[in-house]
């Protein structure tokens, strides 16, 4: 069911609290004991595809993200697989530019372009992603874009779950921010209590 802010033609900008409420209402915020993509453990997990599978949500959120960078003369939008592909495409559509995506390298620690994708030196690039915790995926895409001598204009996120503690050398703008606890496995209180763990994310551990 569409929420009140999804009516056709509506351009209302959502506050941090309203974006977070969307995650809650859609069932995208899960509680338990989770192994995150970063390898850290947490008692909260945001299942982004609960939202990304619904085009009206994606269109509205990505329009908001595009508006954040509308004056930056973006020429290309880049996102990491998998959720970043959808976000990059929709943000690029709103900005009227192309999008490409970066896939995991064979070493599992870097990103590469496949399928004939490349970036011309000096291209003004916006890097986008879904959920930020440690920023590993975003840093991999930054390194990849820098290897092509791109001009990285900024970083756009649906949700910064680090509470703003994860920083970069480029302007970062997120639609919502929350300080969600996470721990290294050796320091995880849920592990200490033998709470069953669920692995989330697409990386191989």
Q: Are strands 151-160 and 172-177 parallel, antiparallel or unpaired?
A: parallel
| Residues pairing with 155 in the sheet | 127, 172
Q: What is the pLDDT of residue 104?
A: 92
Segments in 69-157 forming alpha helices (H): 83-95, 136-147
With CA atoms as reference, report the closest residue to 131 among 98, 163, 94, 91.
Answer: 163
Q: What is the mean pLDDT of each run of 10 residues along the chain (205 residues)?
A: 40 78 81 86 88 87 94 97 95 98 90 96 97 91 98 96 91 92 93 88 48
Domain boundaries defined on the chain: 14-199
Distance CA 86, CA 101 (A): 9
Q: For 143-167, b where at least 16 C-beta lie within 10 A, e where not — what string?
A: ebbeebebebbbbbbbbbbbeeebe
Contact 27, 122 (CB under 8 A): no
CATH of region 14-199: 3.40.50.2020
E strands, the chain, in order: 29-35, 41-46, 76-80, 98-104, 111-112, 124-132, 151-160, 172-177, 198-199
What global pTM score does this model have? 0.81
Q: What is the pLDDT of residue 201?
A: 53
Q: What is the pLDDT of residue 141?
A: 97
Q: Are strands 98-104 and 111-112 parallel, antiparallel or unpaired?
A: antiparallel
Contact 160, 166 (CB under 8 A): yes
Distance CA 50, CA 149 (A): 35
Rg (CA), the chain: 17
């Amino acid at each position: 069911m569409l929420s009140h802010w999804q009516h056709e033609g509506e351009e209302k900008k959502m506050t941090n609290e309203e974006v977070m409420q969307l995650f809650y209402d859609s069932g995208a915020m899960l509680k338990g004991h989770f192994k995150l993509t970063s390898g850290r453990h947490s008692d909260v997990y945001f299942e982004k595809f609960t939202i990304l599978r619904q085009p009206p949500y994606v269109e509205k959120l990505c329009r908001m993200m595009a508006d954040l960078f509308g004056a930056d003369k973006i020429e290309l939008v880049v996102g990491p697989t998998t959720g970043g592909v959808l976000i990059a495409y929709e943000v690029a559509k709103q900005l009227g530019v192309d999008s490409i995506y970066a896939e995991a390298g064979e070493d599992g620690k870097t990103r590469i372009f496949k399928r004939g994708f490349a970036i011309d030196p000096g291209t003004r690039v916006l890097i986008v992603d879904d959920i930020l915790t440690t920023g590993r995926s975003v840093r991999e895409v930054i390194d990849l874009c820098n290897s092509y001598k791109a001009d990285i204009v900024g970083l756009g996120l649906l949700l910064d779950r680090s509470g703003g503690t994860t920083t970069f050398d480029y302007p970062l703008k997120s639609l919502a921010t929350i300080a969600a606890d996470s721990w290294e496995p050796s320091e995880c209180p849920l592990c200490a209590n033998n709470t069953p763990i669920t692995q989330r994310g697409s990386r191989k551990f």
